[in-house]
Amino acid sequence: MYLARKTINSRNRYFIRESYPDGDLIKSRDLFDLGARPEAYIIYPGGNACYFHEDIHRELEKQGVAPDEEELEQLFWPFLRPETRRVIEGFTHKNRPGRRRETIREACRRCETTGFHLFDRRRLHYLRFGQLDQSKILRAPKKIYRPLLDKSRDEIEQQFLQMEAVLNANEKKTYTYVIFDVPGNFAGNLARNFPQALSQEKVDECFLDEVCQLHADEGFWAGMPRTNGLNEHLVRYVCWFFDHDYAESRYLDQIIYDWMARHRDFRPPRPQPSMPLADALSVMEIDKKELASLTVKTLTRKYRYMARKFHPDTGGGHNRFVRLNQAFEDLLRHVRARLAAPGFRTPRG
């Protein structure tokens, strides 16, 4: 059994329904009409105890259904007083004799061999993980689809109606955009990460095409009465899509942050190959004895003199000038290393 909600003349009306097998299909039927106020059928004799009106038991038994208190508590849970929910929340009846319940392991094993509709899988995947990009949905563990086992189409839709209540207003357009696989109609990463950048006329057109295809899918609606107009559950999604904006996306911010992070890394310049000390001295026209008395200042003065002499603009050759620069850099490192050595003393002490 499950609690179903239906909007009639802009008012919510509640029904107790049941999913039952009918050949290869699973259909649903109404068991009891709770009206607009299901809480009216909850009786509080005193304290935090409660029981349910005898009309419910009488009507359900007349239709061959014998619910226990646990099932009724689950059905009426949203309408119970908070104090009563707090008291009975920790009580379960999993070990009730004479009644076998399927274990989670058995249900997960059945999920591996059960074919679930892709639309249901998209909805559960988004509600579970909140991911706009569902390109890897086929890799998701099938055990997350356990709530869909052995349920009629109406019960599944009523279940999603409750699960989607957690969505904020700014999530509803993004949710419908994802579950109808609108990104699949576009190429590139923007469609799966930043739908705001797409042509919204094209997005609207693709969305309506996907809605029409699902509406015409006989296999999806199997076991559920069809109506002339669009199914009320699809009407809900169409309203969400056109009445709301996309959820705020951090996709562009993340792109900018990643770019900054890549360019923030310091990469030291690659060391230039050095020439032998004898070659550097020869290029700079300095003898080995003079090297011991060189300072940064005297070496720089020597380099400037040689640069004016061998610069290509003053008649020097290009290769000769490149070798001069390399010799100066090598000798400069040599002089600085000698001056930084422990025990070195300048002429001034």
Q: Mind listing the pLDDT tens digit for each residue in 5-48?
A: 988 888 899 999 999 998 888 999 999 999 999 999 999 988 87
Residues 141 and 55 in one domain: no
Parent domain of 322 = 277-340
d(CA 314, CA 320): 13
d(CA 290, CA 77): 98
d(CA 197, CA 180): 18
φ, ψ of residue 278 to 5 degrees: the values are -65, -40
Q: Where are the beta strands (DSSP E) in the chain?
A: 2-8, 11-22, 25-35, 42-46, 49-52
Exposed, middle or buried, 17 (CB in 10 Å: 0-12/13-18/19+)? buried
Residues 77 and 176 in one domain: no
pLDDT confidence tier of residue 96, bands split at 50, 70 and 90: very low
CATH number at residue 295: 1.10.287
In the predicted structure, residue 347 carries a pLDDT above the cut 60: no
Residues 141 and 188 in one domain: yes
In the predicted structure, residue 206 carries a pLDDT above the cut 80: yes
Helix 153-163, helix 118-129: angle, nearest 10: 20
Domain boundary among 221, 238, 253: 253
Helix (H, G, I), strand (E, B) or coil at 32: strand
pLDDT confidence tier of residue 168, bands split at 50, 70 and 90: very high
Q: Mind listing the pLDDT tens digit for each residue in 245-276?
A: 988 877 777 778 877 877 776 666 666 667 88
Residues 289 and 203 in one domain: no
Scanning the structure block, which residue is given the tokens 């609108």? 182
d(CA 180, CA 175): 9
Q: Mind listing the pLDDT tens digit for each residue in 292-307?
A: 888 999 999 999 998 8
Q: In the chain, helix, strand, coil percent, each to 5? A: 55, 10, 35
Q: Mind listing the pLDDT tens digit for each residue in 306-333?
A: 888 888 888 888 888 889 999 998 899 8
On whether residue 193 sits in a domain, the answer given is yes
Counting the structural domains of the chain, the total is 3
In the predicted structure, residue 94 carries a pLDDT above the cut 50: no
Helix (H, G, I), strand (E, B) or coil at 141: coil
d(CA 176, CA 179): 5
Lowest mean pLDDT among 80-89, 150-159, 262-271: 262-271
Domain boundary among 54, 74, 101: 101
On whether residue 268 sits in a domain, the answer given is no
On whether residue 220 sits in a domain, the answer given is yes
pLDDT the model gives residue 273: 65
